[in-house]
Structure 1
Amino acid sequence: MRPELVIFDMDGLMFDTERVYYEAWEQAAKFYGYEFNWDIYIQLVARNSRTIGMILRKIYGEDFPYEEASQKKRELADQILEKQGITKKAGLMELLDFLEAEGISKAVATSSTREKALAYLSLGGVKERFDHIVCGSDVVESKPNPEIFQVAAQALQKIPEKCMVLEDSKMGIKAAKAAGMYGVLIPDLVKADDEMREDASFILSSLHEVIDLIKSEKQVVK
């Protein structure tokens, strides 16, 4: 298919940051006396801050100091990224170059706060490459609700049928489907399960393959 707008998730899709967040959450939870594991982390991926707080308090109890732990997690993640730098996913720059050459609009739709999103996009050297940026703090509902993708499309005056969403998570790809957009799943930390395969329009292994997909003008047949 040839979209008029390609909407990018950020963490795990453009940047290899999910592993950093897991390490930071694990250390932050331990600092406050709580055990944190992979099964808990997967529930937090692609969720906004308000929803993450609700999930963690449901797991740990209402006494869990979410605001303090979340701040600690941000500080730890920033320290790791400041030391290691932010790693761009293979094919990102080539895809951005291709979309610009083709005159296809580009937006970011991330569950991260605006402060963090702008900082990381700047650190990765791609903030100015996008026509619009929508963050978790800009919307009421969290993925899998489609609101964040709808806001991005409306801002650039594109109809859902002409939008392609690039996502790495189950919640993100469900949101793309709910928005009536083409959802392209590029798995990061979690392999695609049956539910993700059902929700995705296409499943690719890297951002490089998105260029070939657009060139091929394939249509979804389900």
Structure 2
Amino acid sequence: MEAVIFDFDGTIVDTEALWIDVYQELIQERYEYEVPLEVFQACIGTQDTSLYDYLTTHVDAHITRDELSPFAEKRVNERLVDLPVKDGITDLLRTLHEQGVRMAIASGSQLKFIAEFINKHSIAHYFEAIRCADDVVHVKPHPEIYEEALFALNLEPEQCIAIEDSENGAKSAVAAKIPCIVVPNDLTSSGHFPEEVTILSTIEEAKEQILAIHTK
């Protein structure tokens, strides 16, 4: 095992709850409507149109991504940098670096969000490559983001491990043929994860498993 490829939202930082809160705020302000949590849960780990399909069906037939997305991004960007790195991640990054394991990020987020966060929290230097929504046509669960990360690292899938938290992210890693560890959170634990993944409870457990594989 040569490298670990990290998801960003929900793995490095708990942005998923933030995105949901922001969209709920905007939709409540503009349309006085509360979207069921399960609609947002289906969108976690991807940027597909399912939220907007729901809104056009149940709220207003003329709602578009452009009508909400820029305002949501602005609010998220204002609050994101104040969120902490998730428990165990900084220690995992430091340990992998000490062990000579290469690291990358493969995320459906935009680079501006990722870069600002990892720079503020002084973890940017751990990542050799970042591949995100700006770099691909198809976001997760399509494998393209992981395939681009593999290309950037010049490694084969079996030389890497992906760390994910969501169903869509896990499906993306599996489709790219990368062994995947999933550490779900409260929003993603009800997902239908591919049978190929390893599901663990904490990042600490993930660290132990990764180190065991690396030192074989």
Q: Secondary structure at the match of 2:193?
A: helix
Partner of 2:14: 16
Contact 2:162 2:181 survives alignment (8 Å): yes
Percent identical across equivalent pairs?
A: 28
Counterpart of 1:63, as a letter, is: H
The count of aligned residue pairs is 208
The residue that corresponds to 1:56 in the other structure is 51
Partner of 1:210: 206
Corresponding letter in the other structure for 2:213? E
**How does 1:185-200 map onto structure 2 within 5 Å?**
185-188=182-185, 189-193=187-191, 195-196=192-193, 198-200=195-197
Mapped to 1, the partners of 2:86 and 2:112 lie a distance apart of 21
- Structure 1 length as normaliser, TM-score? 0.87
Whether the aligned pair in 1 keeps the contact of 2:171 and 2:194 (CA below 8 Å) is no
Counterpart AA for 1:165: A
Equivalent in the alignment of 1:99: 96
Query: Are the equivalent residues in 1 in contact too, given 2:174–2:194 (CA < 8 A)?
Result: no
Residue 128 in 1 paired to residue 125 in 2? yes
Structure 2: runs of 5 or more not aligned: none
Answer yes or no: is the 8 Å Cα contact 2:170–2:194 preserved in 1.
Answer: no
TM-score (norm 2): 0.89
Unaligned runs of 5+ in 1: none
- Aligned Cα RMSD in Å? 1.8
Determine the C-alpha separation between the residues in 2 that align with 1:131 and 1:122.
14
Shift, 1:117, TM fit: 1.6
State the partner residue of 1:73: 72
Displacement after TM superposition at 1:56 (Å): 2.8
| Match in the other structure for 2:87 | 90
Is the CA contact (8 Å cut-off) linking 2:10 and 2:165 kept in structure 1? yes
Q: Which amino acid aligns with 2:99?
A: E
Distance 1:29 1:91, change over 3 A: same
Counterpart of 1:142, as a letter, is: V
Given the alignment, which residue of 166, 169, 191 partners 2:166? 169
- Residue by residue over 1:151-206, the C-alpha shift from the partner in whole angstroms, topping out at 9 and shown as x without a partner, is 0011111001111000000000011111111110000122155x316141x11112
Farther off after superposition, 20-29 or 209-218:
209-218
